[in-house]
Structure 1
Amino acid sequence: MEIWLQQQWRGISVWHLLLIPLSWCFALIVALRRYAYRLGLLKSYRLSVPVIVVGNLTVGGAGKTPAVVWLVQRLREQGFYPGVISRGYGRDSGQVLPVMADSQAASVGDEPLLLARRAACPVWVGAQRAATGAALLAAHPECDVLISDDGLQHYALQRDVEIVVVDGERQFGNGCLLPAGPLREPVRRLRDADLVLYNGLCNGAAHPGAYTMRLQGDQFINLQQSQQCRSASDFIGVPLMAVAGIGNPERFFSHLRSLGLVFESRAFADHHAFVVDDLAFESTGVVLMTEKDAVKCAAFAQSNWWYLPVQAEIEGDFLGQLLNQLRSRCG
């Protein structure tokens, strides 16, 4: 259903027009809610350290997780001790929990688990961002900056810097708000963001002053034996099945094609809870997947399953602008 909706939201049809009145109602609710926070009618909370929010305007993935990993690594290089908080979409509770490298994705969410394994910093999950951040800081008083993953619309937590990540290919779909389109907030919301980051080349006019992020990776890691690595060239001419349960599966498939690989593909909904039968294909070829999906499949992995870690590269002086924003807002 989610994949079908993402496809439908790229254009306008009769059923979109029928949903436009609901989108107007949604837009009104979104605007009133935001103004209520601005006026203090709804309570917001400020934590004891600066907060960087990384989010997007649309439903579905835009590439926030690689951006958060990049931010953590760069901030650590600058002498900061960052922590990450997240809702943990797809998990089975809203409880505030620390995320460990050996946590279960069903309990903490797939993206937080990936972050805990890649970012080398404290990661906590919880339904309420402010309470989650307070719990992380109580457990890790050495942290001097927090990154809120996918927290753009969570105005109950005050923020010092906002980073909006945009899928360069899909951008904002048909430009409509939910349910007629994919937008959580109007596109003009970008004007209030401190930094805008396009994941991949922009398919159309980019927001003025925006930066571009590219995802790099050509080394695959075996799900059963993490010390086993293979380059993309090792899989050329091998029967392959590529699977992806992310916000934009086609981005992963396109990446594989750019590596010269030929494969069958199977797309699943974002945060899909994989089970063995999902990957029981008739062919006995190699299965390739994203790192985000691998954290959910490791418990029942086969010897011919491999995942592709990716690293973000951000052009220009994005880090310098971020540090300037932090210094100007936080002293």
Structure 2
Amino acid sequence: MNALLTLLLLPLSWLYAAVLAVRNWLYDRGLKAVAHFPVPVISVGNLRVGGTGKTPHVAWVVHELQLAGQLPAILSRGYGRQTTGYGRVSAADSAATVGDEPLQHFLDFKAAVPVAVAEDRRVGIQHLLRDTSASAIVLDDAYQHRRVQPTLSILLTEHQRPFYHDFVLPAGRLRESRRGARRADVIIVTKCPAELALAEQAQIRRYIRRYSRPGVPVLFSTYAYGAPVAVGAEGGPVTKSGVLLTGIAQPGPLRAHLMQAGYLLTHEAAFADHHPFTVAEIQAVCAQLRPGDSIFTTQKDAMRLREPALQAALAGVPVFYIPIEVRFLADGASLLRQSLMSTFQPYAVV
């Protein structure tokens, strides 16, 4: 967004921010009801619309809880699904029925972790506690869902697009003002270069602490990319040339990784975040393939490519997703583990 347009839209941003500030004030003063639960509720979210890395960070948190002997469950809104209300994700579901991110979590944890969707997280938690033995609930993208009081609130902000350099919608991409960072118990700067200089880390912390509560840990994470994984039955050997197909908020890091790893990307088809691919769009992508080419995509996009009609359009075409794993810089992992484990101290939950 150019500077002039941002300037023109700022009055609307101030109005929107003021409305949200009143809403938050009502919750902060106890004038709007907030639900509390008998197990830790861990919220992972952001101030900015899309692209901060919530899905892999939720997976990291859930995996750590499992290693600690806990029984976590994941609750998501299920953005982009064609259904409403509460639902438990099962092997019969698709991205259309539950959303791409909940389906990814369900498949990643091989059904060992209950995954559910609900617009109203309060209702969703009630169902999960009634129907499962969950000892903790991890909320995916619920930072602005004030009807539930999290035990631990983890705020993500992207290294290249930090919240302290952004504006509230529509002038910028923030869902609420920068002051919303004061609700966070942990702040993670995501998608950092693996060798982020200590001086830059210190400068970022100074910026963030203008808005956060004193003493809140500010951690830094990066992505580690794995070997390509076949989508569907047309695996075969991985070629190092082909088309990049994405429907995510920030495809740049994946593109950069592939090019750095020596892949030749002959074409890129970039769609909006959570875009529901159509058969015609997939056929158009396939038309760009040369002999020996593959389609490369993200794991989240692969969830939407599982639709039968899209699988038929991709018959005979090798498609691979590139898995990602969160890694923390310095002592970030141990500090976050300490924060996670501290949530269980007031609870008689093992």
Q: TM-score, normalised by structure 1?
A: 0.88
Q: How does 1:54-133 map to 2 (within 5 A)?
A: 54-119=44-109, 120-133=112-125
Counting only pairs closer than 5 Å after superposition, residues 181-192 of structure 1 correspond to structure 2 as 181-192=172-183
Gap runs ≥5 in structure 2: 207-216
Distance 2:236 2:73 in 1: 29
Confirm or deny: 8 A CA contact 1:218 1:259 kept in the other structure: no
- Partner residue, 1:134: 126
Post-superposition shift, 1:259?
Answer: 1.8
- Is 1:308–2:311 an aligned residue pair? no
Deviation at 1:286, TM superposition (A): 1.2
Alpha-carbon distance, 1:328 to partner: 5.3
Q: Could you say what secondary structure the match of 2:205 adopts?
A: coil
C-alpha separation in 2, matches of 1:254 and 1:229: 24
Instruction: Within 5 Å, give how 1:1-331 maps onto structure 2.
Output: 8=1, 12-119=2-109, 120-140=112-132, 142-172=133-163, 174-201=165-192, 205-207=203-205, 209-225=217-233, 228=235, 234-236=238-240, 238=241, 240-263=242-265, 264-280=267-283, 281=285, 282-284=287-289, 285-298=293-306, 299=308, 300-301=310-311, 302=314, 303-315=317-329, 316=331, 317-327=334-344, 330=347
Does the Cα contact within 8 Å between 2:6 and 2:171 map onto a contact in 1?
A: yes
Distance 1:324 1:118 in 2: 23
Deviation, structure 1 residue 190: 2.5
The one-letter code sitting in structure 1 at the alignment partner of 2:187 is V
Aligned to 1:5: none
For structure 1, which runs of at least 5 residues remain unmatched after alignment? 1-7
% identical equivalent positions: 32
How far apart, CA to CA, are the structure 1 residues paired with 2:25 and 2:288?
A: 55
Residue 314 of structure 1: how far off its partner (Å): 2.3
CA deviations over 1:153-198 (Å, ceiling 9, x no partner): 0000111101011111222385211111011122233243111112
**Whole-angstrom distance in 2 between the partners of 1:158 and 1:191:** 14
Structure 1 Cα separation of the partners of residues 52 and 9 of structure 2 = 24
Deviations 1:104-144 (A, max 9, x none): 1111011111011113300110110110111111110x111
Contact 1:161/1:325, CA 8 A, preserved across alignment: no
Question: For the residues of structure 2 that align with 1:92 and 1:130, how far apart are their CA atoms?
Answer: 21
Pick closer, same or farther for the CA change 1:229–1:127 going to 2, 3 Å: farther
Distance, in Å, in 2 between the alignment partners of 1:214 and 1:171 is: 15
Compared CA separation, residues 183 and 40, structure 1 to 2 (3 A): same
**Partners of 1:66 and 1:292 in 2: CA distance:** 10
Using the alignment, how far apart are the partners of 2:147 and 2:236 within structure 1?
43
Count of aligned pairs between the two proteins = 314
What displacement does 1:318 show? 3.1
Relative distance call for 1:324 and 1:222 in structure 2 (3 A) is closer
Normalising by structure 2, we get a TM-score of 0.84
- In structure 1, distance between residues paired with 2:130 and 2:77: 18
Q: SS in structure 2 opposite 1:219?
A: coil
Q: What is the deviation of 1:329? A: 5.6
What amino acid does structure 2 have at the position aligned with 1:201? Answer: C
Q: Secondary structure at the match of 2:155?
A: strand
Between stretches 110-119 and 205-214, larger displacement belongs to 205-214
Distance 1:173 1:288 in 2: 33
C-alpha root-mean-square deviation of aligned residues, in Å?
A: 2.1
Contact 1:217/1:309 (8 A) holds in 2: yes
Decide whether the 8 Å contact of 1:91 with 1:105 is kept in 2: yes
| 2:302 aligned counterpart, secondary structure | helix
